[in-house]
Chains A and B, each alone.
Chain A
Amino acid sequence: MPDAIDEPRSPAAIYAAHCREGRLAYPAAPDGTPVWPPSLVVPGTGEPVQWLLSEGRGTVYSTTALHARDSEPRNVAIVELDEGYRMMARVDGLPADAVEIGARVRVRFGAPDETGARLPFFVPQAGA
Protein backbone atom coordinates (compact mmCIF):
# COMPACT_ATOMS: atom_id res chain seq x y z
CA MET A 1 0.00 0.00 0.00
CA PRO A 2 1.54 3.35 -0.97
CA ASP A 3 2.29 5.84 1.73
CA ALA A 4 -0.16 8.71 2.18
CA ILE A 5 2.48 10.93 3.73
CA ASP A 6 4.38 12.49 0.89
CA GLU A 7 5.92 15.70 2.21
CA PRO A 8 9.70 15.62 2.04
CA ARG A 9 10.82 14.59 5.51
CA SER A 10 13.54 12.56 7.09
CA PRO A 11 13.35 8.77 7.04
CA ALA A 12 13.24 8.83 10.83
CA ALA A 13 10.31 11.26 10.89
CA ILE A 14 8.32 9.33 8.30
CA TYR A 15 8.89 6.05 10.16
CA ALA A 16 7.95 7.59 13.52
CA ALA A 17 4.81 9.20 12.09
CA HIS A 18 3.56 5.82 10.95
CA CYS A 19 4.45 4.24 14.29
CA ARG A 20 2.35 6.85 16.10
CA GLU A 21 -0.60 5.60 14.06
CA GLY A 22 0.23 1.96 14.78
CA ARG A 23 1.61 1.25 11.31
CA LEU A 24 4.93 -0.40 10.52
CA ALA A 25 6.39 1.35 7.49
CA TYR A 26 9.51 0.67 5.48
CA PRO A 27 11.31 2.35 2.59
CA ALA A 28 11.55 0.54 -0.71
CA ALA A 29 12.95 0.88 -4.19
CA PRO A 30 10.60 1.85 -7.02
CA ASP A 31 10.16 -1.87 -7.78
CA GLY A 32 9.12 -2.54 -4.17
CA THR A 33 12.37 -4.10 -2.97
CA PRO A 34 12.74 -3.13 0.70
CA VAL A 35 15.58 -0.89 1.84
CA TRP A 36 16.79 -1.51 5.39
CA PRO A 37 18.22 0.16 7.41
CA PRO A 38 16.13 3.08 6.15
CA SER A 39 17.69 5.72 3.94
CA LEU A 40 16.68 8.62 1.74
CA VAL A 41 17.76 6.65 -1.30
CA VAL A 42 18.09 3.14 -2.69
CA PRO A 43 21.62 1.86 -2.07
CA GLY A 44 23.37 1.19 -5.33
CA THR A 45 21.14 3.38 -7.51
CA GLY A 46 20.56 6.55 -5.50
CA GLU A 47 16.88 6.66 -6.50
CA PRO A 48 14.54 8.16 -3.89
CA VAL A 49 12.77 5.54 -1.83
CA GLN A 50 9.02 5.13 -1.56
CA TRP A 51 7.48 4.23 1.81
CA LEU A 52 5.31 1.13 2.03
CA LEU A 53 3.43 -0.48 4.89
CA SER A 54 4.32 -3.85 6.32
CA GLU A 55 1.72 -6.39 7.39
CA GLY A 56 3.80 -6.65 10.56
CA ARG A 57 4.33 -10.41 10.41
CA GLY A 58 7.71 -12.04 10.34
CA THR A 59 10.19 -14.62 11.56
CA VAL A 60 12.93 -14.34 14.15
CA TYR A 61 16.23 -14.28 12.21
CA SER A 62 18.45 -14.09 15.27
CA THR A 63 17.99 -13.41 18.96
CA THR A 64 19.91 -12.80 22.15
CA ALA A 65 19.11 -12.22 25.79
CA LEU A 66 21.16 -9.49 27.40
CA HIS A 67 21.98 -10.23 31.01
CA ALA A 68 22.73 -7.50 33.52
CA ARG A 69 23.76 -8.10 37.11
CA ASP A 70 20.85 -6.16 38.58
CA SER A 71 17.88 -6.96 36.33
CA GLU A 72 16.11 -9.72 34.44
CA PRO A 73 17.50 -10.68 31.02
CA ARG A 74 15.97 -8.71 28.17
CA ASN A 75 15.57 -9.66 24.55
CA VAL A 76 17.09 -8.08 21.46
CA ALA A 77 16.28 -9.77 18.18
CA ILE A 78 16.49 -9.32 14.44
CA VAL A 79 13.10 -9.98 12.85
CA GLU A 80 12.76 -10.75 9.16
CA LEU A 81 9.47 -9.28 7.99
CA ASP A 82 7.48 -11.18 5.40
CA GLU A 83 8.05 -8.28 2.99
CA GLY A 84 11.73 -9.28 2.96
CA TYR A 85 13.67 -6.96 5.22
CA ARG A 86 15.24 -7.42 8.64
CA MET A 87 14.88 -4.96 11.50
CA MET A 88 16.18 -4.87 15.02
CA ALA A 89 13.43 -5.39 17.58
CA ARG A 90 12.45 -6.91 20.88
CA VAL A 91 10.29 -10.02 21.23
CA ASP A 92 7.97 -9.89 24.23
CA GLY A 93 5.51 -12.36 25.66
CA LEU A 94 7.99 -15.01 26.71
CA PRO A 95 11.26 -15.11 28.64
CA ALA A 96 14.06 -13.26 26.87
CA ASP A 97 16.16 -16.40 26.45
CA ALA A 98 13.21 -18.52 25.28
CA VAL A 99 12.85 -16.66 21.98
CA GLU A 100 13.88 -19.00 19.18
CA ILE A 101 15.23 -18.40 15.72
CA GLY A 102 12.57 -19.29 13.19
CA ALA A 103 9.65 -18.42 15.48
CA ARG A 104 6.75 -16.59 13.84
CA VAL A 105 6.04 -13.19 15.35
CA ARG A 106 3.73 -10.21 14.77
CA VAL A 107 4.17 -6.56 15.53
CA ARG A 108 2.67 -4.63 18.44
CA PHE A 109 3.16 -0.99 19.36
CA GLY A 110 4.01 0.33 22.78
CA ALA A 111 2.05 3.04 24.55
CA PRO A 112 2.98 6.58 23.48
CA ASP A 113 5.87 8.06 25.43
CA GLU A 114 5.92 11.71 26.58
CA THR A 115 6.57 12.83 22.97
CA GLY A 116 3.86 10.61 21.52
CA ALA A 117 6.37 8.18 20.01
CA ARG A 118 5.39 4.52 19.92
CA LEU A 119 7.96 1.75 19.67
CA PRO A 120 7.17 -1.34 17.64
CA PHE A 121 8.00 -4.70 19.22
CA PHE A 122 6.99 -8.24 18.43
CA VAL A 123 5.04 -11.03 20.12
CA PRO A 124 4.60 -14.68 19.18
CA GLN A 125 2.10 -15.03 16.36
CA ALA A 126 -0.84 -16.95 17.80
CA GLY A 127 -1.64 -20.15 15.98
CA ALA A 128 1.56 -19.99 13.92
Chain B
Amino acid sequence: MSPLRASSAIAGAAESDLGAVAEGMRPVDLMVQASLGALADCGLALGDVDSLFAATTQLPMAPLNLAQELGIRPRYTDATNVGGSSFMFHVDHARAAIAAGLCEVALIAYGSTQRLVGRGSASVQELDPWETPYRPVMPLTAYALAAARHMHEFGTTRAQLAEVAVSARAWARRNPAAWSRDPLSVDDVLGARMVADPLTVRDCCLVTDGGAAIVVTSAERAATLRRPPVLVLGAGEAHSHRHITGMADLTRTAAAESGARAFAEAGLTPADVDCVQLYDAFTITPILFLEDLGFCAKGEGGPFVSGGRTAPGGALPMNTNGGGLSYCHPGMYGLLGIVEAVRQLRGEAAGRQVAGCEVAVAHGNGGVLSSQATLVLGTAGTA
Protein backbone atom coordinates (compact mmCIF):
# COMPACT_ATOMS: atom_id res chain seq x y z
CA MET B 1 0.00 0.00 0.00
CA SER B 2 1.19 3.51 -0.81
CA PRO B 3 2.78 5.20 2.20
CA LEU B 4 0.94 8.36 1.15
CA ARG B 5 -2.53 6.81 1.40
CA ALA B 6 -4.45 8.73 4.07
CA SER B 7 -1.20 10.29 5.30
CA SER B 8 -2.57 13.81 4.82
CA ALA B 9 -5.90 15.47 5.32
CA ILE B 10 -7.73 18.58 4.31
CA ALA B 11 -8.27 20.30 7.65
CA GLY B 12 -9.81 23.59 6.56
CA ALA B 13 -11.71 24.91 3.55
CA ALA B 14 -13.36 28.16 2.55
CA GLU B 15 -14.57 30.21 -0.39
CA SER B 16 -13.80 33.88 -0.93
CA ASP B 17 -16.37 36.34 -2.22
CA LEU B 18 -17.91 34.75 -5.30
CA GLY B 19 -19.81 35.86 -8.36
CA ALA B 20 -19.30 39.56 -8.99
CA VAL B 21 -16.83 40.98 -6.47
CA ALA B 22 -16.46 44.58 -5.38
CA GLU B 23 -14.84 47.13 -7.68
CA GLY B 24 -11.08 47.18 -7.34
CA MET B 25 -10.74 43.76 -5.77
CA ARG B 26 -7.59 41.96 -6.86
CA PRO B 27 -7.10 38.22 -7.28
CA VAL B 28 -4.85 38.24 -4.23
CA ASP B 29 -7.57 39.89 -2.16
CA LEU B 30 -9.80 36.90 -2.84
CA MET B 31 -6.94 34.54 -1.97
CA VAL B 32 -6.47 36.39 1.31
CA GLN B 33 -10.17 36.20 2.16
CA ALA B 34 -10.33 32.48 1.43
CA SER B 35 -7.03 31.74 3.17
CA LEU B 36 -8.13 33.39 6.41
CA GLY B 37 -11.44 31.60 6.11
CA ALA B 38 -9.81 28.21 5.69
CA LEU B 39 -7.46 28.81 8.61
CA ALA B 40 -10.33 29.95 10.85
CA ASP B 41 -12.29 26.90 9.75
CA CYS B 42 -9.67 24.55 11.21
CA GLY B 43 -8.49 26.82 14.04
CA LEU B 44 -4.96 27.43 12.79
CA ALA B 45 -3.22 30.81 12.63
CA LEU B 46 -1.15 32.47 9.92
CA GLY B 47 1.97 31.64 11.93
CA ASP B 48 1.22 27.93 11.57
CA VAL B 49 1.45 28.02 7.77
CA ASP B 50 4.87 26.95 6.52
CA SER B 51 4.13 26.18 2.87
CA LEU B 52 2.20 27.95 0.14
CA PHE B 53 0.60 26.62 -3.02
CA ALA B 54 -1.21 29.07 -5.27
CA ALA B 55 -2.11 29.67 -8.90
CA THR B 56 -4.30 31.95 -10.96
CA THR B 57 -4.21 33.08 -14.58
CA GLN B 58 -3.77 36.67 -13.43
CA LEU B 59 -0.67 36.21 -11.26
CA PRO B 60 2.16 34.11 -12.73
CA MET B 61 3.95 34.16 -9.35
CA ALA B 62 0.85 33.81 -7.20
CA PRO B 63 2.52 32.42 -4.04
CA LEU B 64 4.73 35.51 -3.89
CA ASN B 65 1.71 37.81 -3.93
CA LEU B 66 -0.10 35.79 -1.31
CA ALA B 67 2.91 35.45 1.00
CA GLN B 68 3.46 39.20 0.91
CA GLU B 69 -0.14 39.93 1.82
CA LEU B 70 -0.30 37.36 4.60
CA GLY B 71 3.21 37.98 5.97
CA ILE B 72 4.21 34.36 5.56
CA ARG B 73 7.79 33.18 4.94
CA PRO B 74 7.08 29.70 3.61
CA ARG B 75 9.82 27.09 3.63
CA TYR B 76 8.13 25.24 0.79
CA THR B 77 6.38 26.82 -2.23
CA ASP B 78 4.69 25.51 -5.35
CA ALA B 79 3.19 27.69 -8.08
CA THR B 80 2.26 24.80 -10.38
CA ASN B 81 -0.17 26.14 -12.95
CA VAL B 82 -1.61 23.60 -15.35
CA GLY B 83 -5.02 25.23 -15.58
CA GLY B 84 -8.15 24.43 -13.60
CA SER B 85 -6.79 21.18 -12.22
CA SER B 86 -3.77 22.90 -10.63
CA PHE B 87 -5.13 22.58 -7.11
CA MET B 88 -5.50 18.82 -7.31
CA PHE B 89 -1.85 18.79 -8.38
CA HIS B 90 -1.11 21.05 -5.39
CA VAL B 91 -2.77 18.58 -3.01
CA ASP B 92 -0.75 15.74 -4.52
CA HIS B 93 2.47 17.73 -4.12
CA ALA B 94 1.61 19.07 -0.65
CA ARG B 95 0.98 15.65 0.81
CA ALA B 96 4.29 14.40 -0.55
CA ALA B 97 6.11 17.38 0.93
CA ILE B 98 4.38 16.88 4.27
CA ALA B 99 5.20 13.18 4.30
CA ALA B 100 8.82 13.99 3.47
CA GLY B 101 9.03 16.43 6.36
CA LEU B 102 9.56 19.46 4.14
CA CYS B 103 6.59 21.27 5.66
CA GLU B 104 3.72 20.70 8.08
CA VAL B 105 0.86 23.04 7.24
CA ALA B 106 0.18 23.74 3.56
CA LEU B 107 -2.09 26.52 2.42
CA ILE B 108 -3.51 26.11 -1.12
CA ALA B 109 -5.24 29.18 -2.54
CA TYR B 110 -6.88 30.57 -5.66
CA GLY B 111 -8.48 33.86 -6.61
CA SER B 112 -9.73 35.33 -9.87
CA THR B 113 -11.44 38.56 -10.85
CA GLN B 114 -12.01 37.56 -14.47
CA ARG B 115 -15.56 38.91 -14.51
CA LEU B 116 -14.43 42.24 -13.09
CA VAL B 117 -11.53 42.73 -15.49
CA GLY B 118 -12.89 40.79 -18.46
CA ARG B 119 -11.82 37.38 -19.68
CA GLY B 120 -9.45 38.86 -22.25
CA SER B 121 -7.51 40.65 -19.55
CA ALA B 122 -7.59 37.74 -17.11
CA SER B 123 -5.98 35.09 -19.29
CA VAL B 124 -2.94 35.14 -21.53
CA GLN B 125 -3.78 33.80 -24.97
CA GLU B 126 -0.84 31.76 -26.24
CA LEU B 127 -0.10 32.42 -29.90
CA ASP B 128 0.46 29.31 -31.97
CA PRO B 129 1.53 29.29 -35.64
CA TRP B 130 -0.70 26.30 -36.44
CA GLU B 131 -3.85 27.24 -34.53
CA THR B 132 -4.07 30.99 -34.03
CA PRO B 133 -4.55 31.80 -37.76
CA TYR B 134 -7.85 29.91 -37.70
CA ARG B 135 -9.05 32.09 -34.81
CA PRO B 136 -10.30 29.36 -32.51
CA VAL B 137 -11.96 30.91 -29.46
CA MET B 138 -10.13 29.01 -26.74
CA PRO B 139 -10.85 27.00 -24.76
CA LEU B 140 -14.45 26.91 -26.07
CA THR B 141 -13.53 25.68 -29.56
CA ALA B 142 -11.53 22.72 -28.30
CA TYR B 143 -14.38 21.49 -26.12
CA ALA B 144 -16.89 21.92 -28.95
CA LEU B 145 -14.64 19.81 -31.19
CA ALA B 146 -14.44 17.13 -28.49
CA ALA B 147 -18.20 17.17 -28.00
CA ALA B 148 -18.83 16.89 -31.75
CA ARG B 149 -16.44 13.96 -31.99
CA HIS B 150 -18.06 12.20 -29.01
CA MET B 151 -21.48 12.61 -30.64
CA HIS B 152 -20.11 11.24 -33.92
CA GLU B 153 -18.41 8.20 -32.41
CA PHE B 154 -20.90 7.20 -29.76
CA GLY B 155 -24.23 8.70 -30.74
CA THR B 156 -24.22 11.07 -27.78
CA THR B 157 -27.00 13.63 -28.23
CA ARG B 158 -27.30 17.32 -27.49
CA ALA B 159 -30.12 16.44 -25.09
CA GLN B 160 -27.72 14.20 -23.17
CA LEU B 161 -25.19 17.01 -22.96
CA ALA B 162 -28.01 19.25 -21.71
CA GLU B 163 -28.77 16.76 -18.92
CA VAL B 164 -25.44 17.72 -17.35
CA ALA B 165 -26.42 21.39 -17.23
CA VAL B 166 -29.91 20.58 -15.95
CA SER B 167 -28.48 18.39 -13.17
CA ALA B 168 -26.02 21.10 -12.16
CA ARG B 169 -28.80 23.67 -12.03
CA ALA B 170 -30.98 21.45 -9.86
CA TRP B 171 -28.11 21.27 -7.37
CA ALA B 172 -27.42 25.01 -7.65
CA ARG B 173 -31.01 25.72 -6.69
CA ARG B 174 -30.15 24.15 -3.31
CA ASN B 175 -26.99 26.22 -2.87
CA PRO B 176 -27.50 29.82 -1.71
CA ALA B 177 -24.00 30.70 -2.92
CA ALA B 178 -24.74 29.65 -6.52
CA TRP B 179 -24.73 32.30 -9.23
CA SER B 180 -27.52 30.81 -11.41
CA ARG B 181 -30.53 29.46 -9.53
CA ASP B 182 -33.44 29.84 -11.96
CA PRO B 183 -35.13 26.64 -13.13
CA LEU B 184 -33.49 25.11 -16.22
CA SER B 185 -34.86 22.38 -18.51
CA VAL B 186 -33.30 20.33 -21.30
CA ASP B 187 -35.38 22.36 -23.76
CA ASP B 188 -34.01 25.57 -22.25
CA VAL B 189 -30.47 24.38 -22.89
CA LEU B 190 -31.21 23.19 -26.42
CA GLY B 191 -33.00 26.43 -27.25
CA ALA B 192 -30.34 28.72 -25.83
CA ARG B 193 -28.06 30.78 -28.04
CA MET B 194 -25.63 28.57 -29.97
CA VAL B 195 -22.03 29.56 -29.34
CA ALA B 196 -19.98 26.70 -30.82
CA ASP B 197 -21.82 23.76 -32.33
CA PRO B 198 -22.94 21.59 -30.61
CA LEU B 199 -22.66 23.77 -27.48
CA THR B 200 -25.12 26.49 -26.55
CA VAL B 201 -24.38 29.13 -23.97
CA ARG B 202 -26.05 26.87 -21.37
CA ASP B 203 -23.58 24.09 -22.18
CA CYS B 204 -20.79 26.47 -21.12
CA CYS B 205 -19.56 27.36 -17.66
CA LEU B 206 -20.26 30.69 -16.03
CA VAL B 207 -17.83 33.58 -16.18
CA THR B 208 -17.59 34.80 -12.59
CA ASP B 209 -15.10 36.06 -10.05
CA GLY B 210 -14.22 33.90 -7.10
CA GLY B 211 -11.63 32.10 -5.05
CA ALA B 212 -11.08 29.42 -2.46
CA ALA B 213 -8.49 28.02 -0.10
CA ILE B 214 -7.82 24.80 1.76
CA VAL B 215 -5.41 23.82 4.51
CA VAL B 216 -3.63 20.47 4.17
CA THR B 217 -1.68 18.90 7.00
CA SER B 218 -0.79 15.45 8.29
CA ALA B 219 -3.70 13.21 9.17
CA GLU B 220 -2.40 13.09 12.77
CA ARG B 221 -2.37 16.85 13.13
CA ALA B 222 -5.69 17.25 11.33
CA ALA B 223 -7.31 14.92 13.86
CA THR B 224 -6.44 17.42 16.63
CA LEU B 225 -8.03 20.39 14.83
CA ARG B 226 -11.47 21.94 14.96
CA ARG B 227 -13.17 20.24 12.00
CA PRO B 228 -13.49 16.58 11.02
CA PRO B 229 -10.47 15.75 8.84
CA VAL B 230 -11.01 14.86 5.20
CA LEU B 231 -8.43 12.25 4.32
CA VAL B 232 -6.61 12.20 1.01
CA LEU B 233 -7.06 8.48 0.34
CA GLY B 234 -5.57 8.66 -3.11
CA ALA B 235 -4.36 11.20 -5.64
CA GLY B 236 -3.31 10.88 -9.23
CA GLU B 237 -2.15 13.36 -11.83
CA ALA B 238 -1.51 13.17 -15.56
CA HIS B 239 -1.34 15.36 -18.64
CA SER B 240 -1.33 14.47 -22.29
CA HIS B 241 -1.01 17.53 -24.55
CA ARG B 242 -1.15 21.32 -24.72
CA HIS B 243 -2.89 21.85 -28.06
CA ILE B 244 -6.13 20.18 -29.03
CA THR B 245 -4.47 18.87 -32.20
CA GLY B 246 -1.91 17.22 -29.92
CA MET B 247 -4.62 15.13 -28.23
CA ALA B 248 -4.39 11.60 -29.60
CA ASP B 249 -8.13 10.93 -29.34
CA LEU B 250 -10.63 13.69 -28.58
CA THR B 251 -12.88 11.28 -26.71
CA ARG B 252 -10.26 9.86 -24.32
CA THR B 253 -8.58 12.00 -21.67
CA ALA B 254 -5.67 11.46 -19.32
CA ALA B 255 -8.27 11.19 -16.54
CA ALA B 256 -8.06 7.47 -17.28
CA GLU B 257 -4.48 7.62 -15.96
CA SER B 258 -5.00 10.04 -13.08
CA GLY B 259 -8.14 8.25 -11.94
CA ALA B 260 -6.55 4.80 -12.09
CA ARG B 261 -3.65 6.07 -9.97
CA ALA B 262 -5.92 7.69 -7.41
CA PHE B 263 -8.30 4.74 -7.07
CA ALA B 264 -5.44 2.22 -6.89
CA GLU B 265 -3.82 4.16 -4.09
CA ALA B 266 -7.10 4.54 -2.24
CA GLY B 267 -7.83 0.84 -2.66
CA LEU B 268 -11.30 1.79 -3.85
CA THR B 269 -13.34 1.70 -7.05
CA PRO B 270 -15.96 4.03 -8.50
CA ALA B 271 -18.62 1.79 -6.91
CA ASP B 272 -17.39 2.99 -3.49
CA VAL B 273 -17.91 6.68 -4.26
CA ASP B 274 -20.83 8.55 -2.72
CA CYS B 275 -20.54 11.80 -4.68
CA VAL B 276 -18.37 13.23 -7.43
CA GLN B 277 -17.18 16.76 -8.16
CA LEU B 278 -16.08 16.59 -11.80
CA TYR B 279 -14.78 19.70 -13.51
CA ASP B 280 -17.65 20.95 -15.67
CA ALA B 281 -16.23 23.70 -17.85
CA PHE B 282 -18.61 22.48 -20.53
CA THR B 283 -21.32 19.82 -20.47
CA ILE B 284 -19.11 17.38 -22.37
CA THR B 285 -16.40 17.34 -19.70
CA PRO B 286 -18.18 15.46 -16.89
CA ILE B 287 -19.37 12.93 -19.48
CA LEU B 288 -15.77 12.30 -20.52
CA PHE B 289 -14.60 12.06 -16.92
CA LEU B 290 -17.39 9.68 -15.84
CA GLU B 291 -16.18 7.40 -18.63
CA ASP B 292 -12.45 7.84 -18.10
CA LEU B 293 -12.66 7.51 -14.31
CA GLY B 294 -14.58 4.26 -14.72
CA PHE B 295 -18.09 5.21 -13.58
CA CYS B 296 -19.37 3.94 -16.94
CA ALA B 297 -17.90 2.46 -20.09
CA LYS B 298 -16.33 4.60 -22.82
CA GLY B 299 -19.07 6.07 -24.97
CA GLU B 300 -21.84 5.49 -22.44
CA GLY B 301 -21.53 8.80 -20.63
CA GLY B 302 -24.49 10.31 -22.46
CA PRO B 303 -27.01 7.64 -21.45
CA PHE B 304 -25.36 7.52 -18.00
CA VAL B 305 -26.16 11.15 -17.15
CA SER B 306 -29.71 10.89 -18.48
CA GLY B 307 -32.81 10.48 -16.36
CA GLY B 308 -31.47 12.49 -13.44
CA ARG B 309 -28.85 9.97 -12.34
CA THR B 310 -26.47 12.74 -11.27
CA ALA B 311 -29.16 15.18 -10.04
CA PRO B 312 -30.56 15.50 -6.50
CA GLY B 313 -32.13 12.14 -5.61
CA GLY B 314 -30.13 10.34 -8.32
CA ALA B 315 -27.82 7.36 -7.82
CA LEU B 316 -24.59 9.36 -8.30
CA PRO B 317 -24.77 12.93 -6.98
CA MET B 318 -22.48 15.03 -9.16
CA ASN B 319 -21.34 18.64 -8.80
CA THR B 320 -23.53 19.13 -5.79
CA ASN B 321 -22.71 22.82 -5.41
CA GLY B 322 -24.04 23.49 -8.92
CA GLY B 323 -20.59 23.23 -10.49
CA GLY B 324 -18.91 25.54 -12.91
CA LEU B 325 -22.08 25.52 -14.97
CA SER B 326 -24.37 27.07 -12.35
CA TYR B 327 -22.50 27.84 -9.11
CA CYS B 328 -19.25 29.61 -9.88
CA HIS B 329 -16.55 29.50 -12.53
CA PRO B 330 -13.74 32.02 -12.07
CA GLY B 331 -11.60 30.34 -14.75
CA MET B 332 -9.70 27.71 -12.74
CA TYR B 333 -12.54 26.01 -10.91
CA GLY B 334 -10.79 22.95 -9.46
CA LEU B 335 -10.29 24.21 -5.91
CA LEU B 336 -14.00 24.99 -5.57
CA GLY B 337 -14.76 21.36 -6.39
CA ILE B 338 -12.41 20.26 -3.61
CA VAL B 339 -14.14 22.63 -1.17
CA GLU B 340 -17.52 21.09 -2.04
CA ALA B 341 -16.19 17.55 -1.59
CA VAL B 342 -14.92 18.57 1.86
CA ARG B 343 -18.32 19.95 2.83
CA GLN B 344 -20.13 16.85 1.67
CA LEU B 345 -17.75 14.58 3.60
CA ARG B 346 -18.18 16.68 6.73
CA GLY B 347 -21.94 16.56 6.39
CA GLU B 348 -22.25 20.34 6.33
CA ALA B 349 -23.77 20.82 2.86
CA ALA B 350 -27.16 21.71 4.35
CA GLY B 351 -29.96 21.62 1.76
CA ARG B 352 -27.86 19.69 -0.72
CA GLN B 353 -26.20 17.21 1.65
CA VAL B 354 -25.67 13.72 0.22
CA ALA B 355 -26.81 11.27 2.92
CA GLY B 356 -24.07 9.06 4.33
CA CYS B 357 -21.31 10.62 2.25
CA GLU B 358 -18.05 8.89 3.19
CA VAL B 359 -16.07 8.83 -0.06
CA ALA B 360 -15.98 11.67 -2.59
CA VAL B 361 -14.03 12.25 -5.77
CA ALA B 362 -12.84 15.69 -6.80
CA HIS B 363 -11.51 15.67 -10.34
CA GLY B 364 -9.82 18.60 -12.04
CA ASN B 365 -9.27 19.42 -15.68
CA GLY B 366 -6.99 22.04 -17.18
CA GLY B 367 -6.11 23.51 -20.54
CA VAL B 368 -8.01 21.88 -23.39
CA LEU B 369 -8.68 18.50 -21.77
CA SER B 370 -4.92 18.61 -21.20
CA SER B 371 -4.14 18.20 -17.51
CA GLN B 372 -6.12 15.82 -15.34
CA ALA B 373 -5.88 15.18 -11.62
CA THR B 374 -8.07 13.06 -9.38
CA LEU B 375 -8.46 13.11 -5.61
CA VAL B 376 -10.22 10.31 -3.76
CA LEU B 377 -11.22 11.82 -0.42
CA GLY B 378 -12.77 10.16 2.60
CA THR B 379 -14.02 10.61 6.13
CA ALA B 380 -11.91 9.50 9.11
CA GLY B 381 -13.73 6.17 9.06
CA THR B 382 -12.35 5.31 5.63
CA ALA B 383 -8.71 5.33 6.72
Contact = CB atoms under 8 A, between A and B. Distances in A.
Interface of A: 11-12, 15-16, 36-38, 61-67, 73-74, 76-78, 86-90, 97, 101-102, 119
Nearest to B143: A64
Given A62-B250, A101-B148, A36 B196 contact: no
A67 B135 contact: no
Contacts of B245: 36-37, 78, 86-88
* A-B CB proximity, top 7 nearest: A64-B144, A12-B129, A62-B145, A62-B149, A101-B152, A65-B197, A88-B131
B101 to A, nearest CB: 36
Interface in B113-148: 128-131, 133-137, 140-141, 144-146, 148
B149 A76 contact: no
Contacts of A102: 152
B374 to A, nearest CB: 25
B130 A64 contact: no
Given A65-B196, A66-B196, A15 B135 contact: no
Contacts of A16: 129
Contact of B130 (A37, A66, A74): A37
Kindly name the residue among B135, B148, B194, B246 whose own CB sees the greatest number of chain A CB atoms within 10 A.
B148
Contacts of A97: 197
B134 A89 contact: yes
B196 A62 contact: no
B146 to A, nearest CB: 7
25 contacts: A11-B129, A12-B129, A15-B130, A36-B245, A36-B246, A37-B131, A62-B148, A63-B145, A64-B198, A66-B137, A67-B197, A73-B194, A74-B135, A76-B134, A76-B135, A76-B136, A76-B145, A78-B245, A87-B245, A88-B131, A88-B134, A88-B244, A90-B134, A101-B148, A101-B152
